[in-house]
Amino acid sequence: MDLDPQLAALRPLGGFFALNTTPPTGAGRESARPLPTLAHAYAAAPAGAHSDPLGLRTGKVARALRTDEPRVAASVAQQGLAARLWSVALGCAVLYDRQPDLAPGLLRWDPEGGAPDDLWLTEVRACGPADAETLAATVLHGHLEPLAAALRARHRLAPGLLRGNAASALAGAARQLDAWARAHDRPDAAARSRVLTARLLAHPLLAGTGTLTGTAFRRRSCCLYYRVPGGGVCGDCCFVRPPRSSPRGPSG
């Protein structure tokens, strides 16, 4: 079906899939100071709190996790944003068979907000077929590559770790979509989600990041969550138990 102005079909999937197409309710500061676009977030160098959305987001995550390791917070923040973007793109591909233009310059982001009110799309327009190539161009090349570059310019994060985070975020979004499809008797949606996910995980930027078995994914890198106070290993982690503490440096 055609994309509707509110992308209403995404809402039943949950907050991580929903995408506002008008300024989020309660974002009163939008009138006084426009929220930054993701294009700005990827390009901006640290120059004060309000002009550094990535710094704001990483700081928020660090406080929530009670970690004093900025690279751990940056890794978790990157995976969270990747999950939001994959969820929207995959949800649209499966439910609309259309892909909206999710260019970084069209998406405004509240780095201190939570889903679904952290992102809103300023213009809904189709950008191409809802195939794996379009999703890769939209999310991998359009967002996750510049996001990774911006984070690596600030933190000692290994490329393999960030690619693993991107793959894990995709697999997690696909798992949620598959569960929704099965609960609502949409075998067509479940099948399409699986096909797209498998093709995306075979993309050169994600190939080798892990193993997909059904909807279960086992990655070959670690997001560093085990270094959070009281943290353990994630369900798809390469480790079966938290490794011993090691010198702070790149992982993955």
What pLDDT band is residue 50 in, cutting at 50, 70 and 90? low
pLDDT at position 105, please?
A: 97
pTM, full prediction: 0.92
pLDDT at position 1, please?
A: 73
What pLDDT band is residue 131 in, cutting at 50, 70 and 90? very high
CA torsion sign, 71 to 64 to 16 to 119?
negative
pLDDT at position 34, please?
A: 79
| Tokens linked to 209 | 């990041």
| Tokens linked to 131 | 């195939």
Residue 28 CB neighbours (<10 A): 8
pLDDT at position 231, please?
A: 85
Q: List Cα–Cα distances, 243 to 83, 231, 233, in angstroms.
A: 25, 11, 9
Picking from 64, 42, 238, the residue whose alpha carbon sits closest to that of residue 141 is 42
pLDDT at position 46, please?
A: 59
Q: 31-40, 113-122, 138-147 — which one is most confidently predicted on average?
A: 138-147
Distance in Å from the first CA to the final CA of the chain: 40
Quick: pLDDT tens for 235-252. 888 888 888 755 444 444
Residue 149 has pLDDT above 80, yes or no: yes
**Alpha carbons 184 and 74: distance in angstroms, whole number:** 36
Residues with Cβ < 8 Å from 32, sequence gap 6 or more?
none
Residue 26 has pLDDT above 90, yes or no: no
Picking from 43, 64, 167, 170, the residue whose alpha carbon sits closest to that of residue 109 is 43
What pLDDT band is residue 232 in, cutting at 50, 70 and 90? confident
Percentage of residues in the chain having pLDDT higher than 70: 90
Picking from 110, 119, 103, the residue whose alpha carbon sits closest to that of residue 50 is 110
Q: Residue length, the chain? A: 252
Question: In 111-130, which positions are buried (b, 16+ CB within 10 angstroms) versus exposed (e)?
Answer: bebebbbbbbbeeeeebeeb
Residue 30 CB neighbours (<10 A): 14
Reported as half-sphere exposure (CB side, CA atoms, 13 A), residue 228 has a value of 20
| Tokens linked to 251 | 């992982």
What pLDDT band is residue 31 in, cutting at 50, 70 and 90? very low
Percentage of residues in the chain having pLDDT higher than 90: 80
Quick: pLDDT tens for 88-118. 999 999 999 999 999 999 999 999 999 999 9
Mean pLDDT over the full length of the chain:
91
> DSSP secondary-structure letter at 176?
H
What pLDDT band is residue 81 in, cutting at 50, 70 and 90? very high
Q: Which amino acid is at 224?
A: L
What pLDDT band is residue 45 in, cutting at 50, 70 and 90? low
Picking from 77, 88, 65, the residue whose alpha carbon sits closest to that of residue 227 is 65
